[in-house]
Structure 1
Amino acid sequence: MEALFLSPEELEQLTGRRRGKEQRETLDSLGIRWKVNAAGDTLVGRRHVEEVFCGLGAANTERKKPNLGALGR
């Protein structure tokens, strides 16, 4: 089973940065959500990164409402 969050090494590979502040700036520019835990570590969900890179981000998951006018009522 894979870890829920990216490892520090994976986060560095993803962002190309070592320092937390710079990593967070890069994550913001990539549209990737992150949180900081009580120890000051940047946490990034593995699933979210996969969704962003596969084009399944929040912008693409909005539900469309049905066109009830097409029913002819």
Structure 2
Amino acid sequence: AKELDEERQKCANKEQEVIDKSQKMNEIQREMAVLNNRSEESEKSVMDLRSELYAERQKYADKKQEVIE
């Protein structure tokens, strides 16, 4: 009976390990999702800044053209 108890305990420990590992994996996946989100937001703001810059350059080019004419 003692051996059986030990086996049960080993199984319980293994189960707990598996649970802990899957919780850890879930945490990591959540963190990755957050980072992906941030990275998408960063890309979007870079694109916004690029288009603003392009618009400014265009305005400047138009003004320069007016001055030449």
TM-score range, shorter chain: under 0.3
- Structure showing greater radius of gyration is 2
Provide the TM-score with structure 2 as the length reference. Answer: 0.26
Higher relative contact order (CA 8 A, sep 6+): 1
Provide the TM-score with structure 1 as the length reference. Answer: 0.26
Determine which structure has the larger strand proportion and give its number: 1
Determine which structure has the larger helix proportion and give its number: 2
